[in-house]
Amino acid sequence: MPKFIIERELPGAGNLSAQDLQSISQASCAVLKEMGPDIQWVESFVTADKIYCVYISPSEKEILEHATKGGFPANSIAEVKTIISPITAED
pLDDT means per 10 residues in the chain (91 residues)?
97 97 96 96 98 98 97 97 95 84
- Number of compact structural domains in the chain: 1
Q: What is the SS3 assignment for 11?
A: coil
CA angle 79, 83, 35 (to 5 degrees): 40
Find all residues with CB under 8 Å of 50, minimum gap 6, and list them.
Answer: 7, 8, 9, 10, 13
Question: What is the per-residue pLDDT for 91?
Answer: 84
Which CATH number is 12's domain given? 3.30.70.3090
Q: Which residue segment(s) compose the domain that 11 sits in?
A: 3-89
Q: What is the CB neighbour count within 10 angstroms for residue 32?
A: 19
| Pick from 54, 49, 43, 39: nearest CA to 14 | 49
